[in-house]
Structure 1
Amino acid sequence: MQQTPERSALVRRPAPLPRPVATREPPEGRARPVRQAARGQGRTPRRRPRPSLEHYLTTYASPELPPSWVMVEELTIGQLSTVYRNLARRSDRTAVAAVLGLTAPVLESWLQTYVRVRNVCAHHGRLWNVGLGVYPVIPASDRISWLDGPLPERSRQRLYPVLVSLQAVLDTVSPRSRWAVRLHDLVAPRPAMNLAGMGVPSGWSDDPFWRRHLA
């Protein structure tokens, strides 16, 4: 699929960062940092990789604000959802969604659902037999990866459509992912009652949407 100029500009790699600010020796009488002092003694501690934002702020003086791709790495899923929803231009929201093989309304809905699921998991809440309160929009377009068969009405307010939406995104961002196989191995041995509580219909793995990932 040929990218539009607007979409190409969105996913284009950032320009090279400016040269690092030159470091200076500490003023006379001030102790050198512990790590620097330890270098000559063979006791250099192992360094952990620094986040991109920390690296930028401690290395570069101009421009003052870091590139957007650096900032995005530091956002929570909730903040990312808010940023996307508040993009002023619809064309920008459309371009971002298109990269994931989605439409803008679908991506906005799914992000809000992922925020809800993340919060439940972070607080050790229960997912398998409860309504989430926020549910993913069911795509109406055939261009979006989704179930071939109809989604049962009783499943719409349970976890199952969230699982389908996650696999739909993975179809674009990680086509070789084995997530569907791991999901199947996790839920297949469960009693039918447990699956029903998640909204997983009987024979769910026979749907062509799942079969092509489980082959």
Structure 2
Amino acid sequence: MEAISYLRNIVAHHSRVWSRNMVKRPMEIKKPKGTWLSRPLPEAGQKKPYFIITAMLYLCNAIHTGETYKQKILALIKKNPEIPIFRLGFLDHWEDEPIWCK
């Protein structure tokens, strides 16, 4: 929750998220009860906003509101294809991860 609050504060105060290493990050979920990442992120990937964004989706799915959040993220990315989302930590084939494609 601290990582989500941290990201929220960065965005709320109009600070840069682009290419930023996050000081706070979510704990790795060892035995997820729902759909999570199928492969662990490298250390560098765990420091990027993608990890927090995906953790937020995991929590939204746990309370059954994940579809709205996920659809908004996917629509934002689709609407802005010129933005290199890898700078936010999105890996190649991120959309094939079970949490994003279900």
- TM-score w.r.t. structure 1 length? 0.43
Contact 2:58 2:66 in 1 (8 A): no
Corresponding residue for 1:190?
A: 81
Contact 2:35 2:98 in 1 (8 A): no
- TM-score w.r.t. structure 2 length? 0.84
SS at match of 1:153: coil
1:46-195 mapped onto 2 (5 Å cutoff): 111-175=1-65, 177-188=67-78, 189-191=80-82, 194-195=84-85
Distance 1:136 1:125 in 2: 20
Q: Pairwise CA RMSD of aligned residues?
A: 1.9
Distance 2:42 2:2 in 1: 22
Segments of structure 2 that go 5 or more residues without pairing to the other structure are none
Structure 1 counterpart of 2:55, one-letter code: S
Aligned pair in 2 of structure 1 residues 114, 175: CA closer, same or farther (>3 Å)? Answer: closer
Greater relative contact order structure (CA < 8 Å, 6+ sep) = 2
Contact 1:144 1:168 in 2 (8 A): yes
Structure 2 counterpart of 1:183, one-letter code: I
Segments of structure 1 that go 5 or more residues without pairing to the other structure are 1-110
> How many residues are aligned here?
101
Contact 1:129 1:198 in 2 (8 A): yes
Contact 1:152 1:201 in 2 (8 A): no
> Moved runs in structure 1, 4+ residues, more than 4 A?
none
Corresponding residue for 1:99?
A: none
Aligned pair in 2 of structure 1 residues 117, 176: CA closer, same or farther (>3 Å)? Answer: closer
